[in-house]
């Protein structure tokens, strides 16, 4: 049995780290946008930024998933599952600001 490389573990940890960064960035951005009144602008700045960030992070998660899913055995299956899980979790974080009013 061969030992997985350090890059394999980095690729396995990348999707949850990207999700956590996305969650924090969306939360902070929407909070500050509401505080500063950006939601009252004619251009939907909040929705555009959240949508762009969500698409970028989901793409990065899926690229990392592609790397780990190609690995043989347990690590490949686990990496594929973890990547798909966190791609879905990123969408769950990014969709509500696009579908509902962000500020009250």
Every domain of the chain and the residues it spans: 11-97
Predicted structure pTM score? 0.85
- Rounded to 10 degrees, the C-alpha dihedral 25/26/32/37 comes to 150
Q: Strand, coil or helix: what is 72?
A: coil
pLDDT attached to residue 15: 93
One digit per residue, the tens of pLDDT, for the chain of length 104 reads 566 677 777 778 899 999 999 999 999 999 999 999 988 888 889 999 999 999 999 999 999 888 888 888 887 888 888 999 999 999 999 999 888 888 87
Where residue 37 falls (left for φ over 0; alpha for ψ -120 to 50; beta otherwise) is left
- Rounded to 10 degrees, the C-alpha dihedral 17/22/27/33 comes to 150
């Amino acid at each position: 049995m061969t030992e997985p490389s350090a890059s394999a573990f980095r690729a396995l940890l990348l999707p949850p780290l990207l999700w956590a960064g996305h969650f924090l960035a969306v939360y902070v951005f929407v909070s500050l946008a509401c505080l500063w009144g950006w939601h009252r602008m004619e251009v939907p700045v909040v929705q555009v930024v959240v949508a762009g960030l969500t698409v970028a992070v989901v793409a990065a998660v899926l690229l990392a998933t592609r790397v780990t899913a190609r690995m043989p055995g347990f690590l490949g299956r686990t990496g594929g599952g973890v990547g798909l899980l966190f791609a879905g979790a990123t969408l769950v974080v990014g969709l509500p600001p696009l579908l509902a009013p962000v500020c009250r």
